[in-house]
């Protein structure tokens, strides 16, 4: 019996802006959903207890405006040792998007700058989660 071909993953587009509006981007790719990341670097970068991120695979990013207003920080002090390029607005300092060195063509938007907010489906690096935070995605698997 021949197996049926896997359906082609649906690509979606999401847009985000920085606080001052100098930077606007659109990412189009395979929807991997929103996550809460509790890693120490996301805590430091966000200035909070976690970062709320939206992930895309096999994705492309388009600058709707402000490419020259983006500063890139190469974060090599990650748990897995892979470089994570953190992009933020050099005018207002807002985190806008991230690009891991692997997998290729993965982009991550910070959900705070997105027009449509999405509930997270997973929590990452829960071993680093502050003990006073409840389950953000209680019914979903955790890494």
DSSP 8-class letter at 48: S
pLDDT reported for residue 143: 54
Q: What is the pLDDT of residues 42-77, one digit of tens each?
A: 999 999 999 999 999 999 999 999 999 999 999 988
Provide the sign of the torsion angle of the four alpha carbons 108, 128, 49, 141, taken in this order. positive
- The pLDDT, as a whole number, for residue 1 is 55
Average pLDDT over residues 17-43: 94
Query: Which residues span the domain enclosing 41?
Result: 11-128
Look at the chain and report how many structural domains it folds into: 1
pLDDT of 95 reads 95
pTM exceeding 0.75:
yes
Instruction: Indicate which CATH number applies to the domain containing 106.
Output: 2.170.150.70
Residue 3 inside a domain? The answer is no
Question: Does residue 1 lie in a domain region?
Answer: no
- Give the span between the Cα atoms of 137 and 77, in whole angstroms: 27
What pLDDT shows up at residue 3?
67
């Amino acid at each position: 019996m021949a197996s049926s071909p896997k359906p082609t993953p649906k690509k979606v587009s999401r847009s985000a802006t920085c606080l001052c509006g100098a930077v606007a981007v659109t990412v189009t790719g395979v929807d991997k959903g929103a996550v809460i990341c509790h890693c120490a670097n996301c805590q430091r970068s966000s200035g909070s207890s976690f970062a709320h991120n939206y992930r895309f695979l096999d994705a492309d990013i388009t600058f709707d405006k402000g490419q020259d207003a983006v500063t890139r920080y190469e974060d090599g002090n990650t748990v897995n040792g892979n470089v994570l390029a953190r992009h933020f607005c050099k005018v207002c300092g807002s985190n806008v998007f991230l690009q891991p060195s692997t997998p290729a063509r993965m982009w991550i938007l910070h959900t705070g700058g997105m027009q449509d907010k999405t509930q997270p489906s997973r929590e990452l690096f829960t071993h680093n989660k502050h003990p006073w935070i409840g389950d953000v995605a209680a019914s979903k698997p955790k890494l």
